[in-house]
Amino acid sequence: MSRYRELYKELKEVLPFYKRTSQIAIEVCLYVIHSIGEDIEAKEGWSVFNKYYLRLSEKRVTAEHQRWLYMVRKYWHSYGSRFYWNRDLDDYMTHMERERIFTIEEGHIRINPSCQVSVERFLLFRNFLNSLPDEEEIKKEVYCEKIFYRNQEAFELNVESSSDELATLPAYREKKIYTIRQDKDWNMILAEMGGIFSHRPSIQLEILDGDELKLDGLRHVVGTLGSGKSTLKQALIYDAVKNEHLKIAVVENSISKLLELWMLLKQCGIQAIPFISTSSEEIYLREYLAACRGIREIKNSDEIAILSGNCILKAVAGDETEKYPCNRLLNEQSVPVVCPFFGACGHQFRIRELIDADIILITPQAIARSKVEKPIDNYNRSMYELLYDLMDLIIVDEADDIQQDFERSLMVTEHINREQESILVEIEKLYKKVEGCSVIKNDLYNFKQDFERMKSHLTLMERIFIKYHDIIEHYNNKNILINVLRDKVLKGFSYEKVLIDGKETSFEKLLLEYVKLTEGMYGITEEQLSNEIKTMLDFLFDFHWTGSYAEKKIEENSLALLKRYGVTYASDIKNKELQFQRYILLMLLVPFDVMLKRLVRLYSSVYFEMEGYSKSVRMFAGIREQMRHLVTEPCFGMLLGYKLEFKDHLLYIDALRYVGVGREMLLNWSGAKEELGKKGPGILCLSGTSLAPKSAHYHIAKKPDAILYGKPEGKIYMKFKPLADGKSYIRISGTNERQRKENLKKMIDKLADTLRACLSKSQYRKIMIICGSYQEAEEVCAKLRYHNFNAYFVNEDGAEKKNYMVYRKDIERFPVLSNYADILVVPLIVISRGFNILDEDGNSYFGTEFYLARPYMVPGNYANEIQMIHYQLDKIIDAVKKENKDYQNRMLAFRKACFAKFIHVTNITYWKSLNEEDREIMTWFILIQMKQAIGRLQRNGNESFVFLCDSAFCDGLQKQGTELSPSTSTIHSMEFLLESIMEDKATKILYQNFYEAICEMNREAERIYCNLQEEDE
């Protein structure tokens, strides 16, 4: 039994009158709030137990109280949620008053005068909180004589038990700090590394404050393309490990980069351990094998050893399933046990190596989703926490990219009902297994029934909404939050109090309670429903789920409900049809949400029943349980929303979930457990675009500590080249799908001669054409080949193989795979960073880029939208602290301000409609992606040629007499933005080359196109 469970058991023995453990937990939490002295309404007590409390409160919270807050987040994390807090608080208040030490007076937490033992119980709770372990070691039994697979027959193992203790990871290591001095002799370190490193250019690092840089806390080093960031990283690792004996983790944004670094370090005698999840390992191994040119290359590859492993127990047991049995082993008493072959297993080889590893190489995805299992780590830690505890230094390469990866890991979008890789496809696989069972009972029966109801309900929604043209126009590919939809429905109706069954009520009250069904992660159970809502559900859905009359019945019942409650349309509603359709959407989306959550809740238990091990639907798995207390909560509360797509007379639904502030995983990593007095590792961020002031997506909120200098970047020649179509210019960005497709074809027709001219001149090298999506890349490539160009396009990994196509993962091998083709068509988001596509001399294979579409933040991409709020969190916190004196009002105002900002950014549309703040954010979003993509042309100091063909880059050209300014021209907004930061030394070094190219392009554009406007006039 864990130490926490032992302590909790002792607490229950002292307080036997509490029937439920939640009543004890709530009382302990109320004691924490009372002890801190935060005078807050009881219903808002949840807000004390999130990471915003210390940032918003004026209370001087002692070290002891900070530790208590940490422990509540660790052991009772759900109490940071308003829903779960109030659910258990209400239950606590139903308990006999004389046995409760707290009561609620005028809404606030007060000591209960009827209880005579408050002092003794306060001491009891204080001892309990102070005794809770920071980390508790829970060992798994080693057992070798008889082992059971869950849901499989037992089998005998003729293996003698080993008395040797398995080595394990420690709870914590004291930190060593690496210091870089200005006069450090990097050349000596590179020479000591030998081989290719001895020929690397010298590292030129300027420390911006003082003569030395201690790598503790968060540190930030920036440098241009080719300045030697990779060389610095490798030399620093070598020196810190070999000479200073540090433990280091390196975060890389892809497995290919991770393995490349592993091979380089191995060449200079440094043994690093790549941490790759089983699923990623298998995927990457298949990709790697497919890229190998023959058996000799496979046999001689060290990477194969890293990506391959064998499971002895699977072979012994004759287990032919894909799932590894490591966590499915039980002894005869059904106690989980360690595999007897763990110490020799090839599958677990790299995990065992972690114990003595000086260097761990890992991706952000593995950090966010992985943990090291027992018996190697007996402390039940996420990788995020484990690296905090055991590493001295964490190097984060391409830090702005990693920051976004952390953000995206906590903002998940999952398909619900698409043909492949969707939630219902996974659920249906399990449903078919359940359907084949001879005996179906309890959860299996409920799961089967709910799935059948869900399929029928989806069919009903599709049949109704595909006819609702106003809904399609307003909500296609838009994010829908049920609470926001509810408010719009209420605003569009007029209603008063009415008597229903002799009781006074209103349509508003009814709708509020109806939507409350969706509260919490798993919604409200039927037992919690009022009779009014049960009647309403029966009233709405008293029809068979199939049949041609179903949708008509829904409309009739919905109209009858409005009439029953005396509801009419609001006087200011112009589109009554849209209002009614919106009302029907809400009526159907609520039961859809409830059914989906029920299915997901049942899925884990049914999967365990059928397969013998647990599996969750990733959409609802959220943050790893072991990591929740370390992650900053969602700034306006947990979000679960939906996005509808109407396509080819079908309805597709995606689920959106927002569970935390990902960037703070990086920015606050070095202090993630500071409440415990445990010093964290130094975090060193490296990048060339992580210094981007006022960028919501790329900027690392830490002033640079040092600048790397290197070979000058190749000169960029940029040209604005809009293509005329009659009296107007061809526009791609901001047009509808049909126009966009037609205009792209027109562009290629008009660009054909220019493309041939570029290919005929050696300085332009090969051509990369940038478009907006994989589908567009394929269509543009087909048009180019129609014009007899040797062109290929990039498609997403796993797509069906087609002629003249390369997969995203193979981009760096494009020259060889395409037999040195002339043109590659690629979506910008794919090529913006990370790929080095080189010729045989090490120069950039491509020298020219044509932008057919202006980059823009896709409306409805809620991960990008929420990052715009995260970027401004400190600003919002400062504002609410100035405007509100007490913590409760600050917290409520903070959430309200964040949600208002979210609604604002989700309504951002065209460039001309942006306010100044949004325009700066959007300009950085476009600028950084372009700068990173142009970087693919500049390797080894090569010059580059860039043509911007979409007239949307300069909207001002479309209308005569329009002044070209940031509000009318994206390219002028880039110039204006960069000009404002050129006084700063670091930003000037990073962006000077790009800024000069923009300025030259704009002056030329003004001369040519403004003169044309004057001539037309």
pLDDT at 65 over 80: yes
Q: What pLDDT score was predicted for residue 544? A: 47
Q: What pLDDT score was predicted for residue 542? A: 52
Mean pLDDT of the 205-219 span: 96
- Tell me whether the omega of the peptide bond preceding residue 375 falls within 30 degrees of 0, making it cis: yes
- Predicted confidence (pLDDT) per residue in 397-454, tens digit: 999 999 999 999 998 888 898 877 788 988 988 898 888 776 667 788 888 888 988 8
Residue 300's pLDDT band, with cuts at 50, 70 and 90, is very low
Q: What pLDDT score was predicted for residue 221? A: 97
Q: What pLDDT score was predicted for residue 437? A: 79
Top mean-pLDDT range of 286-290, 354-358, 540-544? 354-358
Q: What pLDDT score was predicted for residue 959? A: 66
Q: What pLDDT score was predicted for residue 923? A: 95
- Predicted confidence (pLDDT) per residue in 921-964, tens digit: 999 999 999 999 999 999 888 999 999 999 999 987 766 656 78
Q: What pLDDT score was predicted for residue 187? A: 95
pLDDT at 162 over 80: no
- Of 277-291, 632-646, 745-759, 994-1008, which gets the smallest average pLDDT? 277-291
Helix axes 118-131, 21-36, angle to 10 degrees: 90
pLDDT at 350 over 90: no
**How far is Cα 146 from Cα 321, in angstroms, rounded to an integer?**
21
502 backbone dihedrals φ, ψ, rounded to 5°: 80, 0
Going by C-alpha positions, the residue among 468, 713, 630 that lies closest to residue 74 is 630
Distances (CA, A) of 998 to 378, 946, 971, 1010: 56, 10, 7, 17
Residue percentage of the chain with pLDDT more than 90 = 51
Q: Which CATH architecture has domain 716-859+921-1011?
A: 3-Layer(aba) Sandwich (3.40)
DSSP letters spanning 260-323: HHHHHHHHTT---EEE--HHHHHHHHHHHHHH--SHHHHHT-HHHHHH----HHHHHHT--SSS
- Predicted confidence (pLDDT) per residue in 462-518, tens digit: 888 888 989 988 888 888 999 899 999 999 999 989 988 888 889 998 898 888 888
The amino acid present at 711, given as its one-letter code, is: K
pLDDT at 53 over 90: yes
Residue 819's pLDDT band, with cuts at 50, 70 and 90, is very high
**How far is Cα 98 from Cα 875, in angstroms, rounded to an integer?**
46
pLDDT at 299 over 60: no
Residue 1017's pLDDT band, with cuts at 50, 70 and 90, is very low
The DSSP H or E segment spanning 946 is strand 944-948
Residue 167 in contact with residue 355, Cβ under 8 Å? yes
Q: What pLDDT score was predicted for residue 294? A: 47
Top mean-pLDDT range of 80-89, 154-163, 543-552, 875-884? 875-884
Residue 150's pLDDT band, with cuts at 50, 70 and 90, is low
Give residue for tokens 């072959």: 341
pTM confidence score: 0.91
Every domain of the chain and the residues it spans: 3-131, 174-245, 417-618, 716-859+921-1011, 862-906
Average pLDDT score, the chain: 86
